[in-house]
Amino acid sequence: MLRQIEGSKAIAETVALCRPEVVCAYPISPQTHIIEAVGAMVKAGTLAPCEFINVESEFAAMSVAIGASATGARAYTATSSQGLLFMMEAVYNAAGLGLPIVMTLANRAIGAPINIWNDHSDAMAVRDSGWIQLFAESNQEASDLHVQAFRLAEELSVPVMVCVDGFILTHAVEGVDLLDQSYVDSFLPPYEPRQMLDTKAPVSIGAMVGPEAFEEVRYLAHLRQLDALELIPEIAREFFESTGRDSGGLVRPYRTDDAETVVVAMGSVLGTLKDAVDARRDLGELVGVLGVTSFRPFPSEAVRDALAHARQIVVIEKAFSIGAGGVLSTDIAIAIHHEQTLLRTVIAGLGGRAITRRSLEKVLDDASRDELAPLTFLDLDQGAVDRERARMQASRRSGPSAENLLRDRGTVSPKIPA
């Protein structure tokens, strides 16, 4: 049913339709509304049977999810930012053990400086953990992806992280067509564990593995992700055929066929980008957008196909590897491997800085004139940076840069009427 609903609520209601048996989570902005809503449904008895376990930390949340999943229960949790880092060890364990936990990651920047707003640093920090990472473009897709995520996770015995832009999507009230229970029940069969702690057929899970087999265990995990490259589009196709909705899949090309310049991005910025591209298309400019839905596994072949004819590729990313550059760009560069294509990286939206249509237009303007630098920081206040560099030069004890920059912006003592 189509409803005007907050993203978090739509996700929570969809998760409930997936009949998780154990939900364990620790609240952190901007994930909180999702977990509150799931908790309320468990308490009201509308999500049953399901045990909601209040834990004392994110580390415990993922540990409980691991335990629950190992006993054959469908397990779900959600987190953001520092919460994800706090559970990092268990995040790797969940993947290493091959437990099909589904987790919503309401994407948020990582401190310090502490910042509650959206970017993709948290997802990037665990990109090598062995989790499948799917990025939602809208709240409709965020909801739909959860149903697909449980199916994918359980078929492959791999945990899946559904990445949803914190605040921008989680707190946005939009029209979302929510699935109904009978549809989800038909799409998502009951969980059939590949491994399970069962007193009738005892096994141990989590053996110590030395040099004699560790590489093979890791390689098997890699193969399962490669299997996911086949399964993700298959599940998306089946979902499309039964709902008419184009949610999920590996990549989403938009007007790329004859595009000379293709902008690549993940998550909610894609909508704003498509508006910008449509306007330019009306003026005859050959631009397109490529949304990367599946970041892990990375769909190199699909990316290569979609970008085959592009002369210039502009990757807009909400995270970067400090001291190196773009993260998504690196994967794109490896995927395309032809040197005649211009590859440009634009770092944008860090710590919740709004990515405006106007700024995107400027990027596209620069790109159309071949004036885009290899690495650009969108809307960077160069003056503020220069002034801080000068302070550092002028005095050994120039103090903490974050505070200095806030003072420079006048944010420490905001404008108050005289």
Partner 1 sequence: MFQIRIHGRGGQGVVTAAEILSVAAFDEGRHAQAFPSFGSERTGAPVVSFCRFDDRVIRTHEPVMEPDAVIIQDVTLIHQVDLFSGLSPDGYVLINSSSSFSDLGFGDFFDQYHIERLMTCPATQIALEHLGRPLPNAALLGGFAALTGEITCDAIDKAVREHFIGPVGERNAAAVKAAFDYVASKVKEVARASTN
Contact positions vs partner 1 (CB under 8 A):
4, 6, 30, 116-118, 138, 165, 167-169, 171-175, 268-272, 274-275, 352, 354-358, 414-417
Report the DSSP beta bridge partners of residue 106: 164
Report how far apart, in Å, the C-alpha atoms of 144 and of each of 71, 340, 402 are.
26, 38, 39
Torsion of CA 121, 293, 175, 25, to 10 degrees: -50
| Minimum distance of partner 1 from residue 272's CB (angstroms) | 4
- Angle at the Cα of 212 (from 210 to 215), degrees rounded to 5? 85
Task: Pick between residue 179 and residue 360 the one whose CB is nearest to partner 1.
Answer: 360
Can you read off the two tokens belonging to residue 50?
């399901």
CB of 6 to partner 1, least distance (A): 7
Distance from C-alpha of 329 to C-alpha of 315, rounded to nearest angstrom: 6
CA neighbours within 13 Å on the CB side: how many for 262? 28
Rounded to whole angstroms, how far apart are CA atoms 100 and 158? Answer: 5
* Closest distance to partner 1 from the beta carbon of 91 (Å): 26
CB nearer to partner 1: give 184 or 287.
287
CA 103 to chain centre: 11
Which of 403, 351, 409 shows the shortest CA–CA distance to 378? 351
Contact indicator for 260, 307 with CB cutoff of 8 Å = no
State which residue, 144 or 165, has the beta carbon closest to partner 1.
165
Using an 8 Å Cβ cutoff, are 260 and 311 in contact? yes
Least Å from the CB of residue 198 to partner 1: 46
Q: CB of residue 141 vs partner 1: minimum separation in angstroms?
A: 12
For residues 338 and 358, which CB has a smaller minimum distance to partner 1 in the complex? 358
- Smallest distance, Å, CB 274 to partner 1? 5
User: Least distance in Å: CB of 307 to partner 1?
Assistant: 22
Q: What is the number of other CB atoms lying within 10 angstroms of the CB of residue 300? A: 16
Q: Least distance in Å: CB of 279 to partner 1?
A: 11
Using the minimum distance from each CB to partner 1, give the nearer residue, 175 or 399.
175
Three-state DSSP state, 257? coil
Q: Locate tokens 């960077």: which residue?
A: 380
Which is closer to partner 1, CB of 35 or CB of 168? 168
Token reading at 261: 């310049």
Question: Please, what is the minimum distance in Å from the beta carbon of residue 118 to partner 1?
Answer: 8
Cβ closest to partner 1, residue 121 vs residue 312? 121
CA–CA separation, 144 and 295 (whole Å): 17
Residue whose structure tokens are 């834990």:
55
Nearer to partner 1 by Cβ, of 208 and 416: the residue is 416
User: How far apart, in whole angstroms, are the C-alpha atoms of residue 248 and residue 240?
Assistant: 9
Nearer to partner 1, 117 or 295 (CB): 117
